[in-house]
Amino acid sequence: MDQEPNDQSNQKRKICIVVANRANYARIKSTLFAVQNHPDLELQLVVSASALLARFGNVIDIITADGFRPDCCIHVIVEGESPQTMAKSTGLAIMEMATAFENLAPDIVLTVADRYETMATAIAASYMNIPLAHTQGGEVTGNIDESVRHAITKLAHIHFPATEESAERICKLGEDPKTIFMTGCPAMDLLPSIADEPLNHNIHEQYGGVGEPVDLTKPYLVVMQHPVTTEYGQGFEQIQQTLDAVEQSRQQAIWFWPNVDAGSDDVSKGLRVFRENKTVRPIHFCRNMTPEDYARLINHCACLVGNSSSGIREGAFLGTPVVNIGGRQEGRERGENVIDVNYTSIEILSAVHSQMNHGKYERSNRFGEGHAGQQIANILSTVKPEIKKRITY
């Protein structure tokens, strides 16, 4: 794969980026701006899946408030949040993505990370002979996401891993080293400018939600626990353990609703039962907020609890104490800021107390230094991807 300056006499190269959920947007926002502002590139934006749904935080509203105008919005979520509906949503997304790519005729499609929406994007683009770029490949985790991530790596023509270890793993998967660009994670790009900024104390009024308001001038927890698709059916019991631990900690908390994966209804049911049966609780439940406000929130919290990768990625950069529950992030690179525990309230509570006593950790640049988005845009403007991949096992 060669890199050469774009011929200025040619039209701008069209880069189609797909945003399908709230995590997607935080992971690619800086790249969206960099592509949009690049003199040799034209941004095409497709917004899809849970990013379009109010019950998952109206990500589309945050996207448009930032000044982006989607070229296409695709509804693909089949209701039910079960393994069957995840598979059906993937199939529907493949069909709808194919139509979008036919209409937009992009030069390169860029897809983010490791979810079923990402898999659908990758399948549609690769079968249509559209060069596919992929961020965050090569990482190891628990859950079905690891298999999906590696499958997308094999479909992709351009790779933007977040760490050196991930880049090495992509090579071991048989990908040509000349197609691998270790840029770091674009989510880190948002952090340097806000790392030392004060917290937004108006989040209750700005983002709504339910439950008791939290006094953000005092210590508080942030909790984000998603279902684990390979442990489908266990979500209600798992979230009960976390709820018990947070309640016993007597700490106030900002609690985010889970994502759209199979088992989401079980986790949400546990949260609703707790919310309705407890009469006094300093816990506020919310759906979403801007990536910047979320980063400020976890930067100033006493501890981040749950199984979100943001504790491992953004948490490492910010030095946020994290209690990671269960196997969803098993095998992922992590810094010293993370304590891993099982789904037992005793372990969770003990780890929360330990992390609160420890306080902030030293910041780590393991997942990037804050320049990934611009690097990705520059590479996309010059790279010449080969559709016919060479197998190098």
Note whether residue 196 is domain-resident.
no
**Same domain as 249, residue 144:** no
Measured from the Cβ of residue 46, the count of other Cβ atoms closer than 10 Å reads: 24
Q: Give the pLDDT of residue 8.
A: 46
Note whether residue 364 is domain-resident.
no
Residues 6+ apart with CB under 8 A from 46: 16, 17, 18, 19, 70, 71, 72, 73, 74, 97, 100, 104
Average of pLDDT values for 336-340? 97
Residues 6+ apart with CB under 8 A from 274: 243
Average of pLDDT values for 252-265? 93
Note whether residue 267 is domain-resident.
yes
199 closest CA partner among 215, 178, 216, 177:
216
pLDDT in tens, 222-258: 999 999 988 999 999 999 999 999 999 999 999 999 9
**Same domain as 118, residue 54:** yes
**Residue 73 burial class via C-beta count within 10 angstroms: exposed 0-12, middle 13-18, buried 19 and up:** middle
Q: Give the pLDDT of residue 385.
A: 86
Indicate the pLDDT class of residue 195, thresholds 50, 70 and 90: confident
The answer on pLDDT for 329 being more than 90 is yes
Q: Give the pLDDT of residue 339.
A: 98
Q: What is the dihedral of CA 104, 161, 91, 71, to 10 degrees?
A: -20
Q: Give the pLDDT of residue 302.
A: 97
Note whether residue 198 is domain-resident.
no
Indicate the pLDDT class of residue 213, thresholds 50, 70 and 90: confident
Q: Are 239 and 271 in contact (CB under 8 A)?
A: yes
Q: Give the pLDDT of residue 387.
A: 78
Q: Give the pLDDT of residue 249.
A: 94
pLDDT in tens, 115-130: 889 999 999 999 999 9
The answer on pLDDT for 391 being more than 90 is no
Sign of the Cα pseudo-torsion (202, 33, 107, 153, in order): negative
**Same domain as 266, residue 141:** no
Residue 151's domain is classified under what CATH number?
Answer: 3.40.50.2000
**Same domain as 125, residue 56:** yes
371 closest CA partner among 186, 214, 237, 202:
186
Least confident interval from 95-99, 203-207, 247-251, 323-327? 203-207
Q: How far is CA 112 from CA 27, 120, 215, 361, in A?
A: 7, 11, 35, 28
The answer on pLDDT for 109 being more than 50 is yes
The answer on pLDDT for 337 being more than 50 is yes
Main-chain phi, psi angles of 75, to 5 degrees:
-90, 120
The answer on pLDDT for 338 being more than 50 is yes
- Mean pLDDT (the chain) is 92
The predicted model scores a pTM of 0.91
Tell me which of 388 and 263 has the higher pLDDT. Answer: 263
Q: Give the pLDDT of residue 280.
A: 61
**Same domain as 260, residue 111:** no
245 closest CA partner among 337, 347, 340, 322:
347
Indicate the pLDDT class of residue 203, thresholds 50, 70 and 90: confident
Q: Give the pLDDT of residue 231.
A: 92
Note whether residue 310 is domain-resident.
yes
Q: Give the pLDDT of residue 392.
A: 53
Note whether residue 221 is domain-resident.
yes
User: Cα–Cα distance between 132 and 212 in angstroms, integer?
Assistant: 45
Note whether residue 197 is domain-resident.
no
The residue type at 319: G
Count: domains in the chain: 2
**Same domain as 152, residue 28:** yes
**Same domain as 53, residue 106:** yes
pLDDT in tens, 25-49: 999 999 999 999 999 999 999 999 9
Q: Give the pLDDT of residue 333.
A: 92
End-to-end CA distance of the chain: 18
Least confident interval from 139-148, 198-207, 230-239? 198-207
Note whether residue 389 is domain-resident.
no
**Same domain as 378, residue 337:** no
Q: How far is CA 177 from CA 121, 126, 366, 391, in A?
A: 23, 20, 21, 12
Indicate the pLDDT class of residue 281, thresholds 50, 70 and 90: low
Indicate the pLDDT class of residue 10, thresholds 50, 70 and 90: low
Read out DSSP for 340-372?
A: EE-S-HHHHHHHHHHHHHH-PPPP--TT--S-H
pLDDT in tens, 154-184: 999 999 999 999 999 999 999 999 999 999 9
Question: What is the percentage of the chain residues whose pLDDT exceeds 90?
Answer: 80
Cα maximum dimension of the chain: 67
**Same domain as 179, residue 282:** no
Pairing of strands 252-256, 2-3: unpaired
The residue type at 145: D
User: Cα–Cα distance between 192 and 184 in angstroms, integer?
Assistant: 14
pLDDT in tens, 64-86: 999 999 999 999 999 888 999 99
**Same domain as 254, residue 376:** no
Domain, as residue range, for 8: 2-191+370-384
**Same domain as 375, residue 352:** no
Average of pLDDT values for 197-205? 84
**Same domain as 113, residue 53:** yes
